[in-house]
Amino acid sequence: MKILHFYKTFAAHQHGGVEMFIRHLTHATKWQGCENVVLSLAPEGASSEDGPDYRLVHAKEDFNWASTGVSLSSFKVFSELSKSADIVHYHFPWPFMDVVHFASRVKKPTVVTYHSDIVRQKVLKCLYTPLQNLFLNSVDAIVATSPNYLNSSPVLAKYPDKTSVIPIGLEESMYLPIQPERVSELKLQRGRFFLFVGVLRYYKGLEFLLQAVQGKDWPLLIVGAGPLEQELMKMAAEKELYNVHFIGQVTEQEKVNLLAACYAVVFPSHLRSEAFGISLLEAAMFGKPMICSEIGTGTSYINQHQISGLVVPPKDAIAMRAAMTHLWESPALAVRFGAAARERYLEIFTSRAMGESYSKLYASLL
């Protein structure tokens, strides 16, 4: 089967949630006999290259408005690529994609992985909703990434007959091996520590995490960069949070070592913009206990309360602090949660399981 994926951004060096998902999905479906082509936009211009599990085609991005890339040349490129595809696989949301879909009059079976509701752009969302409804009505199948998101999304509630759930899965072999000596150095240098990994964005809830550790001496390592980095560093300095360490962007090798070395992973995202939480899934893969907030999305599907970790109300620094205290003071419980997280990853969240489910869906549409 030949699959054409269409998403606004994709490159070998990008590690956003959707980009990681596409990378792991193409790897998994390749072993199911799928040939994957990924069409995306790039400001640098048109290009084509062969990746390990896909062929990547870039159309030139002419401009970007409200996080929506636009490319006039992509209409022609998409039309040409879709002719040789058996399935067109869209990754939602990206309003420009809807326009290309209708303008190209796609005649092939279509799948949409519904990654997230549109949360932040409320005014633009009102303008976009009619096109969104037309687009989702027109496609053959919609996939939610967790039952939690399917049950809590008012948009997905309109399409019960064509929507199914396929959890995101990760391929462990695509991660670099742990470096035991470096992990030992980290443990010796940092002792026990909590870890956050992610882009420092508005919906990550990090201001509540900083409030939660105020007055405590647990080391907290914040890994990642983003729009709120300076603001959060200023907040930590004002509160004299000397136990909080902003590590910044790290290499994939450094991330693997930090995940192996940490005591537990905290993930305080408080808005539905956090639709799944691949960083949490990485923590589960590494067998780490987790703390997250209940926002009705994939975060509390990956991390089940009192099974693989603790789930607290969103925007509640006191509850977050209580959960961190409980986990910090209960090493045996942390070990049990971590083992359960690893077991849950192996049972539900492997890339093989994801690849098999998508391949079955593709075949059913054909």
Backbone torsions φ then ψ of 113, nearest 5 degrees: -85, 115
CATH number at residue 147: 3.40.50.2000
Question: CB burial class (10 A; 0-12, 13-18, 19+) of residue 52?
Answer: exposed
pLDDT digits (tens, 9 = 90+) for 312-327: 999 999 999 999 999 9
According to the model, what pLDDT value does residue 66 have?
A: 78
Instruction: Say how many CA atoms lie within 13 Å of 132 toward its Cβ.
Output: 20
Same-domain check for residues 10 and 66: yes
Tokens of 85: 């595809």
Same-domain check for residues 274 and 204: yes
Same-domain check for residues 65 and 156: yes
pLDDT digits (tens, 9 = 90+) for 33-67: 999 999 999 999 999 999 889 999 999 999 998 78
Instruction: Say how many CA atoms lie within 13 Å of 48 toward its Cβ.
Output: 4
Q: How many domains does the chain have?
A: 2
pLDDT band per the 50, 70, 90 thresholds, residue 339: very high
Secondary structure (DSSP) of 198-264: S---GGG-HHHHHHHHTT----EEEE---TTHHHHHHHHHHTT-TTEEEEES--HHHHHHHHHH-SE
Same-domain check for residues 324 and 177: yes
Same-domain check for residues 96 and 157: yes
Cα distance between residue 202 and residue 270, in whole Å: 9
Domain span holding position 299: 173-348
Same-domain check for residues 321 and 204: yes
pLDDT digits (tens, 9 = 90+) for 184-213: 999 999 999 999 999 999 999 999 999 999
pLDDT digits (tens, 9 = 90+) for 64-108: 987 889 999 999 999 999 999 999 999 999 999 999 999 999 899
Is residue 353 within 8 A of residue 170, CB to CB? The reply is no
Tell me which residue of 108, 103, 47, 119 sits closest to 274, measured CA to CA: 119
Residue-averaged pLDDT of the chain: 96
Backbone torsions φ then ψ of 344, nearest 5 degrees: -65, -40
Instruction: Determine which helix (DSSP H) or strand (DSSP E) holds 163, and give its type and residue range.
Output: strand 163-165
Cα distance between residue 190 and residue 300, in whole Å: 28
Secondary structure (DSSP) of 6-67: E-S---TT---HHHHHHHHHHHHHHTTT-EEEEEEEETT--EEEE-SS-EEEEEEP-EEETT
Same-domain check for residues 16 and 120: yes
Which pTM value belongs to this model?
0.94
Is residue 349 within 8 A of residue 285, CB to CB? The reply is yes
Same-domain check for residues 210 and 308: yes
pLDDT digits (tens, 9 = 90+) for 288-306: 999 999 999 999 999 999 9
Burial 163-190 (b: 16+ CB within 10 A, else e): bebbbbbbbeeebeeeeeebbeebeeeb
Neighbours of 226 (CB within 10 A): 15
Same-domain check for residues 247 and 151: no
Same-domain check for residues 258 and 332: yes
Asked if the model's pLDDT at residue 114 lies above 80, the reply is yes
Same-domain check for residues 157 and 183: no
Asked if the model's pLDDT at residue 120 lies above 80, the reply is no
Tokens of 162: 């064509």
Asked if the model's pLDDT at residue 282 lies above 80, the reply is yes
According to the model, what pLDDT value does residue 92 have?
A: 96
Same-domain check for residues 157 and 180: no
354 DSSP assignment? H
